[in-house]
């Protein structure tokens, strides 16, 4: 992979991947592993026919952990990709990408 000053990396296949500082990547992976653990617990609870409200509480923990992951990814995107787009004068593209993410969310 080749790293450019813009903070983007060109993969061996030629596509762009976002640059993430190591600590940010570790934080995102940590949040995803927490989500995975909660989800595995929900699956086990369903298999063991546990009380519905307890399952719902655990499911809410999965969703909260994923929301935190989304926040970390979005923060990284704003600090890197969006900042680079603004510096290069392509703020409209950056704005539209963010808006599209939020439109899909609803």
List pLDDT tens digits, range 32-88.
Answer: 999 999 999 999 999 999 999 999 999 999 999 999 999 999 999 999 989 888 889
∠ CA 50-34-21, nearest 5°, is: 165
Domains of the chain, CATH where assigned: 20-105 (1.20.58.1000)
- Name 38's Cβ contacts closer than 8 Å, sequence gap at least 6: 58, 61, 62, 65
The two tokens of residue 27 are 């934080």
pLDDT of residue 71: 92
pTM equals 0.70
Q: How confident is the model at residue 102 (pLDDT cuts 50, 70, 90)?
A: confident
Helix/strand number for the chain, H first, E second: 4, 3
């Amino acid at each position: 992979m080749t790293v450019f000053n813009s903070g983007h990396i060109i993969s061996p296949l030629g596509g762009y991947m976002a640059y993430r500082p190591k600590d940010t990547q570790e934080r995102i992976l940590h949040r995803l592993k927490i989500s995975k653990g909660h989800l595995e617990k929900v699956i086990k609870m369903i298999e063991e026919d546990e009380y519905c409200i307890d399952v719902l509480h655990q499911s809410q923990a999965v969703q909260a952990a994923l929301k935190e992951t989304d926040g970390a990814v979005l923060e990284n995107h704003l600090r890197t990709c969006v900042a680079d787009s603004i510096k290069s004068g392509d703020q409209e593209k950056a704005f539209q990408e963010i808006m599209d993410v939020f439109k899909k969310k609803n």
